[in-house]
Chain A
Amino acid sequence: MHEMSIAQSLLDIIKEEMFKNDAKVLKSVRLEVGQLSAVVPESLSFCFKVMVDGTEFEGAELIMEVIPLKGQCLDCNEIFEIKDYVFECPHCGSKEVHTLSGQDLKIVEMTVE
């Protein structure tokens, strides 16, 4: 949820980075959307488009990669995809699971001119 305020935060970061790199045109932005981040990619895409329409960023593409929830068992070290948000090792059944990825919402890269 809150994809609109997230789109705003994203835009703030984009503007800062464009300024830092003396870039004039934004072609695309690549994001990593963690599965547990509670962000819906389609909503974010829509909100971003609404925000940039009519601005110098109109037409910029938002590329999103959904990062699955991955964990590591602290008992047997097995690395596995956490399915259905069940934090349990499929190998040994341990509940001691460290989350490796899938919780964050990150901007990774911008393609600019």
Chain B
Amino acid sequence: MKVSVVKNILEANERIALENKAIFDEAALTVINLMSSPGAGKTSLLEKTIETLNGDLRIGVIEGDIQTSHDAERVAKKGIPVVQINTGGACHLDGNMIRDTFEEFNFHDLDLLIVENVGNLVCPAEFKVGEDFKVMILSVTEGEDKPAKYPLMFHESKVLLVNKIDLLPYLDLSMERIREEALKVNPHMIIFEVSTKTGEGLEGWYQWLKEQVKAKKSTRN
């Protein structure tokens, strides 16, 4: 006999992500899932962002890596609450892993939670953790063809930061082409050209973050 089922196979993680989101929403907390290839500048972006915005926004961070607590140590030096997840081998963070950190935070004391995902341009895009937005970084040394090669990552991300623009004089790279390629797979992507080394271009990113936090806080009332 035939049994009709019609179920989303990935529903288990989706459900946990939704439950996480409900907890974040109750605290009017803006949550960002930050993704990129290894070495594109996620932790540097976090350091710069915290340095600049820590007076205006109360920020918390969840760090995800296969091994080590290097990133959490870097972020902890900025004086904000941070928890390190070591996946031991898993190539991405999922809703369950995020949920396991909840007792380390008081979400009502935070405005913004940034989850720094495992460095990987493939898998993190497939898994929600309960975030409001996925944000990704592409560094200029990675090349112009990455949006076409990694469409899901680019399609799922609300914001793209093109990082390390301080290196542009040493590269044959068309920023115009990166933008074109990214906008093909995600026409509504917000793109910032930045350098986490020099600080160039980051004002737009800070402004966008503040706007999201403000909008989320206003949903509480």
Contact = CB atoms under 8 A, between A and B. Distances in A.
Interface of A: 1-2, 6, 9-10, 12-13, 17, 21, 23, 31, 36-38, 84-88, 95-97, 104-113
B148 interface: yes
A113 B2 CA distance: 9
B70 interface: no
Contacts of B29: none
Interface of B: 1-10, 12, 91, 122-123, 125-126, 148, 151-152, 155, 183-188
Nearest to A113: B1
Chain B binding surface SS class: mixed
B2 A85 contact: no
A17 to B, nearest CB: 6
Contact of A87 (B4, B12, B126, B184): B184
Contact of A13 (B2, B7, B122, B155): B7
Contacts, number: 81
Nearest to A26: B3
A99 to B, nearest CB: 9
Given A36-B155, A85-B155, A97-B187, A106 B7 contact: yes
Query: Quick one: which of B1, B2, B3, B8 has the most chain A CB within 10 A?
Result: B3
A87 B9 contact: no
Contacts of A31: 9
B4 A108 contact: yes
A87 B185 contact: yes
Given A1-B126, A2-B126, A38 B7 contact: no
A6 B8 CA distance: 11
Q: 6 smallest A-B Cβ distances: which pairs? A: A95-B187, A85-B151, A110-B3, A86-B184, A85-B185, A105-B9
22 contacts: A1-B91, A1-B126, A10-B9, A13-B5, A21-B1, A21-B3, A23-B3, A36-B151, A36-B152, A37-B126, A38-B122, A85-B148, A85-B155, A86-B184, A88-B184, A96-B187, A104-B8, A106-B6, A108-B5, A109-B4, A109-B6, A111-B3
Given A21-B3, A112-B3, A13 B185 contact: no
B5 A107 contact: yes
A38 B3 contact: no
Contacts of A37: 126
